[in-house]
Amino acid sequence: MTYNFHPTSLREYDIRGVIGETLGADDARAIGRGFATLLRRAGGTRVAVGWDGRESSPMLAEALVEGLTQSGCDVVRVGLGPTPMLYYAEAVLEVDGGIQITGSHNPPSYNGFKMVFQHRPFFGPDIQQIGKLAAEGDWEEAEERGQVTDFDILDQYVQRLTAGYQGGEFRIAWDAGNGAAGPALEKLVKLLPGEHHLLFTDVDPRFPNHHPDPTEEKNLEDLRTVVREKGLDFGIAFDGDGDRIGAIDGQGRIIWGDQLLGILAEPVLKVEPGATIIGDVKASQALYDRIAELGGKPLMWKTGHSHIKSKMKDVHAPLAGEMSGHIFFKQDYYGFDDALYAAVRLMGAVRLSGKSLTELKSEMPLVVNTPEMRFQVDESRKFAVVEEVLDRLETAGADVNRTDGARVNTPDGWWLLRASNTQDVLVARAEAKDQAGLDRLVAQIDEQLALAGIERGPQAGH
């Protein structure tokens, strides 16, 4: 039997689609068959499966488990929870892989799958291989179906989050955005000292209060209101599946992902002087300067949680992070992105600094930057456009970093143009010391796009 996936669902970092249109039970079953086939051929036999709070998740879980067991893998169902809970299960249980069913921060009609294979990220060519096996019907057939067991890991996971807690007593507002992190958060704050105000911890697949994406400023308004009204120390928010963190200080100012990483790096580097800390290509130059100032080795790497995790292993980095709020701790943890754990470590970092989070934010260098700007481009052309821009810039003698797209340094600051791995868009960003410099950088981006025949359209901005 062969199976063909919708061409848009097999993506760089995960498998994702719209339920009933590009993703359904048959896809989940085929993913299970393919993953189990690859795992058995690599000598593995057991898979942990978890899911988020979307309406379609139980249906997809059932079909996925069916596919996994049909191809001879045993399954441990760890239940509803954030993606990092599944990553934790894969790290500590006697399993050879893990699959989380989650639509992350996508609209309610979406869902998808994030996978771990023998303790490493499963992405890029691995995901394409699932498609290839399905198209060829090249699946393992089991004489006996795999066994299915249930293991409620939530309490164990939450206990692990607070192991070695070094934070003080803070007054914090928390916003789970009705996503899958809510139940874990309710249990977590009971183990932490201080005063905690919880928002939207009930899991609701409709996301009735606001969209669960803490990188969008409008989604932090409820959190800001509570922090201001109650005079709290700071606020923390999570995305739909709990692997990305957002934070605001006592004045309601956003602490962006790269700024969080700069704060978290200090205690890490005290324990491991000279260690490599990884940021993504969208992060501010201020982050890399701060890591160097603290005695660490800053390393700029490709955007995408799978790329960052793989690079961390290569260079033995104890900490890494992305502008989008994925924070990865290898020091005293497992190296995966876990927003609940990052929040606990942030409390520790603030206490150890001897300052408030508001003071730490106020001391950060002042830079002006654009939001992430997006430009619609044909899927077949997006990578070619970036190559054309790189060639033009290098011919002109520009200072260009090719790690992930084109990151161009100028006396004003820097600008970035890269192809999205998940959408048919080019993503651009610029940062300068003042507005006049920023205007000059944005003009350079516009010039390069115009030379490539791409006009700044309605896609620009968030």
- The catalytic residue positions are 104
Nearest to 371 by CA among 252, 433, 282: 282
Structure tokens at 95: 């399993």
Sheet with 254-255: list strands edge to edge.
Answer: 195-199, 171-175, 234-238, 245-249, 254-255
Residue 134 CB partners (closer than 8 Å, separation 6+): 2, 3, 4, 5, 30, 33, 34
Length of the chain: 462
The one-letter amino acid code at 36 reads: A
Residues 267 and 348: beta-carbon distance below 8 Å = yes
The C-alpha atoms of residue 323 and residue 325 are separated, in whole angstroms, by 6
Per DSSP (E only), the strands in 217-361 are 234-238, 245-249, 254-255, 276-280, 297-301, 319-321, 327-329
Helix, strand, coil percent content, the chain, rounded in steps of 5: 35, 25, 40
Helix (H, G, I), strand (E, B) or coil at 411: coil
Strands 110-117 and 120-121: antiparallel
Cα 250 from Cα 174, distance rounded (Å):
13
Query: Helix (H, G, I), strand (E, B), or coil: what is residue 261?
Result: helix
CB 270 within 8 A of CB 298: no
Q: How many CA atoms lie within 13 A of 50 on its CB side?
A: 27
**Residue that is written with structure tokens 């070619």 in the block:** 384
Within 10 Å of residue 424's Cβ, how many Cβ atoms? 16
Nearest-5° angle of CA 260, CA 262, CA 263? 65
* C-alpha to C-alpha distance for 186 and 213, rounded to whole angstroms: 19
Q: Is 42 helix (H, G, I), strand (E, B) or coil?
A: coil
